Amino acid sequence: MRFLKDLWRILRGDKGALIGGIIVLLYCLMALIGPWVVPLSNEQDPANAYAGPSWSHPLGTDALGQGVLSQIIVGSRPIMVVGLLAAIITVFIGVTVGLLTGYIGGWFDTLVMRITDIFLTIPGLPLIIVLAAFIQTTNPVVLAIILSITAWAGLARSIRSQAMSLRSSDFIEAAKLQGVPLRNMIFRQLLPNVGPYVAIHFLLAITGAIYAQVGLFLLGIAPISGTNWGIMINLAMAQGALYTTDSALYLFAPMAAIVILQVAFVFFSRALDSVFNPRLRVQ
């Protein structure tokens, strides 16, 4: 409750963050109920191809005469679901590894951190592309795992450094004396103290996953099936949208959808930052 109150106060003061939060919420609603509300028929209507904006198709139609706006709405769900799954995986691994290594220390820390460093060094996107090319999956969970293959490493390192400074604090000493088991120590004692940091990184992990995921569809590396924003841009480019003005809306509408969502996430995450970091509020 306290958290929501704080969040609301900050959001009222920071218009950018408020608008960002509202937009993120709207996108979530769109992904949740959009596909049920907006009909996307499989019927093609070539007579109606590249129509301009009209009452029935507010953003015009594509090469097959299907509404661009309804495709954007239907296409939001796969993108958001995979982005969310990837962020959950990234944050879960990053936090667990970071807290364990930071708390336990010693050779365990050295060993795991060396492995983490390897993942930190390997460029993420090329690895994702290569894996996606080999695996060719349409399963959202598998795609999310591929997308988070290296993203957890940076989070693990920064969580570790926070856990290391928490380790010497009084309440951890007290818990240790009480003989609290490791599980409790990690998830009950340490986790709440890094919670804020994790929340912000969760949002940023979503934006990172959406970036990489749309990129995969854009380049046609992930299998092109169904409807999502990346596939829309891919098809628009393949149909020569760059050199005809006909399909400009079909190309730019999904791009705008992505940009607005990414910007909204970044602005909203800034508000969370000030909720959790009272120091930033004073400045």
Partner 1 sequence: MTTYILRRLGMALVVILVVLTMSFFMVRLMPGNPMDALAAQLRAQGGLTEQDIQNRLNAVYGVTPTAPVWQQYLTYIGNAFRGDLGVPITNPGTTVVAIIAEALPWTIIVVAFALIISFVIGVAIGAAMAAFQNTWFAKVTTFFVSVLSAIPNYLVAIILLYFFTGVWQIFPSGGAYGVDVTPGFNAEYLKSVAWHAVLPIAATVITSFGGWALAMKGSAISVLGAEYVRAAESRGLSPRRITQSYIGRNSMLPMITQLALSIGFMFGGSVFIETYFQYPGIGFYLIQSVNQRDYSLMMGCFLLITVSVIIANLLVDLLYPLVDPRIARPATRKKAEVQADKSVPDEGLGAGGTMA
Stretch that binds partner 1, among 61-69, 126-134, 175-183, 185-193 (CB under 8 A): 126-134
What are the Cα distances from residue 254, in Å, to 19, 41, 81, 266? Answer: 20, 19, 17, 19
Query: Using the rule CB under 8 A, is 99 a contact of partner 1?
Result: no
What's the closest the beta carbon of residue 55 comes to partner 1, in angstroms?
Answer: 28
Query: Using the rule CB under 8 A, is 162 a contact of partner 1?
Result: yes
Burial of 111 (0-12, 13-18, 19+ CB in 10 A): exposed
Q: Which of 90, 78, 136 is nearest to 257 (CA)?
A: 78
* Residue 73 or 257 with smaller CB distance to partner 1: 257
* Chain center to CA of 65: 31
Query: Using the rule CB under 8 A, is 207 a contact of partner 1?
Result: yes
Site string for partner 1, 7-46 (x = CB under 8 A): ---------x------------------------------
What's the closest the beta carbon of residue 121 comes to partner 1, in angstroms?
Answer: 5
Q: Which of 82, 172, 194, 258 binds partner 1 (CB under 8 A)?
A: 258
**Which pair of tokens denotes residue 211?**
């970036």
Place of tokens 């951190």: 113
What's the closest the beta carbon of residue 41 comes to partner 1, in angstroms?
Answer: 28
What's the closest the beta carbon of residue 104 comes to partner 1, in angstroms?
Answer: 16
Place of tokens 């959406």: 210
**Which pair of tokens denotes residue 215?**
């990129």
Q: Which of 101, 97, 102, 96 is nearest to 168 (CA)?
A: 102
What number of H helices and E strands is found in the chain? 13, 0
Residue 173, amino acid: E
- What does the alpha-carbon distance between residue 6 and residue 176 come to, in Å, rounded to a whole number? 32
Cα-only R_g, the chain: 22
* Residue 26 or 125 with smaller CB distance to partner 1: 125
Query: Using the rule CB under 8 A, is 120 a contact of partner 1?
Result: yes
**Which pair of tokens denotes residue 226?**
């169904």
Query: Using the rule CB under 8 A, is 262 a contact of partner 1?
Result: yes
Stretch that binds partner 1, among 1-9, 51-59, 137-145, 151-159 (CB under 8 A): 151-159
- Contacts with partner 1 by CB under 8 A lie at 16, 114, 117-118, 120-131, 133-134, 147, 150-151, 154, 157-158, 160-162, 164-165, 197, 200-201, 203-205, 207-212, 214-215, 218-221, 233, 237, 242-243, 251, 255, 258-259, 262-263, 265-267, 269-270, 273, 283
